[in-house]
Structure 1
């Protein structure tokens, strides 16, 4: 009886190893992850305090700041060159963190239960606010705030260069009564809200790799995940939106609100883009629409061309989008008139190419897996062809097919 191990020659083994090598390289590549991707909040044995005022440069970490419903800001960062990480800020009737320094990083922090007023008498209590210069908010989770998770600047003072990455901003019905809010009430305005007066220099905001969900049926009308307005330049990339009334609420200004969004996916939301007040030149690339989405574009007080939308397609499954992120499927294509014509897509069916649904958006991963799965058969073929044992090859294949169809 012919034994299978006799088929594999050194040549077949070398081919198999050669194909496994690129797979190992691909597996080692870092995956794009949406939302928080590291532990958030305090580490073991944190220092517990009621308020934190930072007026000196340095690193501050592992702080449990519980305001016990203090009617003031829990954390104030007034100094430059500050890193606040692995801390939890909670239970305030005002803002969680206010930033007025330069070169500040807030990393791996959990901010929640900043609740002012009541559900029916809404008052602002923001998660992070202030007038920063060069602020990075990374790997943070913010939820249950009666204002905005992030807002710059309430007084329309100068702020600039804010980067938000790998964060999760959400709200929903309260599981327990807190402050003057009752069980089941949903606090919150928007996840991110921008304010910048026309006389101020244009402020820059970059949001990427972040998750926004639950921003709807809250304390205000037209509640949105992103409320981007006034004299700003905002870029939003590789973000996921789920269960929101409005994902992007974009409002124009005299000097034009500049917004570009690329490679974002939307699920179970009423409106993807609500365009107001003559906002113009909005750039959208690689928008992916999932299940349960109502209107893609809703216009209020608008006329003429207002946006350019290219490479729109269907979203991958929600968990897959969070795991691998979204990347552009093809190079941009200039539409004739994006504001009135149907949104152009990368193919006639309105779907993005197969590449956009593969892990990390790469066709190489599937190709490498396919090669590995075919290697035993290729090895057999190589061996029998090289050795002239075609009869053995036919015998092995015949036995394999016979076993397969006899089951």
Structure 2
């Protein structure tokens, strides 16, 4: 026999449960889409407590180790084996490189690398965070800072390297809070966040950089300091990244065999130069560039002539924190494709105001519509019950039973 009260009690329970699902899902999401989004460095109890160097000659997983070089003048971690995972380690205090990789199929994940300081501020010497000649290397969810060379550089000797993926990392520098090695407090170490070297006689090296944050690369130890210094015989893609407080965000330099670079869905804030194009680099494709507050020159050319790049869908950047939280996919205000070598103005509507879409989370109408539907579901369920049953007096009783069912189940 059909029992309206029991039926609509189940309906109300189902609606309320479905409303909780998005909340649970959102709670499980990472804190940020761009940059590190999980804890980096050692876990609570490093094992062993501390070691000066780590030499990896065998395949396997190495994790939760504190490597403190105590200003040793050499690589603190050397990965010479294939099929290695280095996870949740802290590497610090070196007068040379943090990690040197020469193996294949290597993953460096959730590591913190810092205070790799060679020479002094006035006598710059390279000490990189991660370097070497790897093949099939993934650097994921790592933080690298306070290095006197580059956070990541392949390959210093221009040997063969290939297939490097960098994702959800944070690379930064700034004035040292305390004196370290031969650097004084307040001095800002560093060259570039990422630097590439690949001789024309080597096979073209491939680099993918995505979902990463770069800041502070400026006023350092070299001229034309940049977040990304991409040059020579490479094919690089940069996607969904955020840049702020840099002298140069993209320094792109050509070669005889052409340096191939593609940039999509990236945002820039408070930086002097977005793109510095040098040495006849060509075939550059930029899509969805988002310009935020405090940006100086968007394009600077050195030793360039003719058309060299294609820039489409440039627009305004969303607020900085929102960009980190939701990413840059379609976040910039759209506009019509522009001709090569032209610099489009940010898009505005007829009143001169920013388009509403640029304020939306992730820039998507579908996201807003989905959130609205979820928020309206309880009210739709209540209205459905009231209309179908015609008994408003038992409304509170039915809703109370639904809550009781939901919280009394084991």
TM-score in same-fold range (> 0.5) = yes
1:215 matches 2:217: yes
**Aligned equivalent of 2:37:** 37
**Aligned equivalent of 1:165:** 167
5+ residue gaps, structure 2: 1-6, 392-410
- Seen in structure 2, the aligned counterparts of structure 1 residues 371 and 281 have a Cα distance that, compared at 3 Å, is same
Residue 186 of structure 1, CA deviation: 0.2
Secondary structure of 2:274 counterpart: strand
The C-alpha deviation readout for 1:38-82, integer Å capped at 9, x for no partner, is 110011221211011111111111111111111111111111001
Q: Which one of the candidate residues 11, 25, 29 is aligned to 1:28? A: 25
1:118-157 equivalences in 2 (<5 Å): 118-157=120-159
Q: Which one of the candidate residues 116, 119, 127 is aligned to 2:118? A: 116
1:268-283 equivalences in 2 (<5 Å): 268-283=270-285
Give the alignment's TM-score, normalised by structure 1. Answer: 0.84
Q: Which one of the candidate residues 175, 179, 182 is aligned to 1:180? A: 182
Matched residues in 1 for 2:381 and 2:141: separation? 47
- Seen in structure 2, the aligned counterparts of structure 1 residues 57 and 12 have a Cα distance that, compared at 3 Å, is closer
Matched residues in 2 for 1:238 and 1:143: separation? 21
- Seen in structure 2, the aligned counterparts of structure 1 residues 70 and 305 have a Cα distance that, compared at 3 Å, is same
Secondary structure of 2:322 counterpart: helix
Secondary structure of 1:49 counterpart: coil
- Number of positions where the alignment pairs a residue of Structure 1 with one of Structure 2: 382
Q: Is the 8 A contact 1:51 1:74 kept in 2?
A: yes
5+ residue gaps, structure 1: 1-9, 390-407
Moved more, 305-314 or 336-345: 336-345
Q: Is the 8 A contact 2:338 2:344 kept in 1?
A: no
- Seen in structure 2, the aligned counterparts of structure 1 residues 350 and 75 have a Cα distance that, compared at 3 Å, is farther
Cα RMSD of the aligned pairs, angstroms, is 3.1
1:351-362 equivalences in 2 (<5 Å): 354-355=356-357, 357-362=359-364
**Aligned equivalent of 2:287:** 285
Give the alignment's TM-score, normalised by structure 2. Answer: 0.84
Matched residues in 2 for 1:318 and 1:149: separation? 23
- Seen in structure 2, the aligned counterparts of structure 1 residues 201 and 125 have a Cα distance that, compared at 3 Å, is same
The C-alpha deviation readout for 1:208-235, integer Å capped at 9, x for no partner, is 1111010000000000000000110111
Q: Is the 8 A contact 2:265 2:328 kept in 1?
A: yes
Matched residues in 2 for 1:364 and 1:22: separation? 18
**Aligned equivalent of 1:366:** 368
The C-alpha deviation readout for 1:264-289, integer Å capped at 9, x for no partner, is 11111111111111111111111111
**Aligned equivalent of 1:3:** none
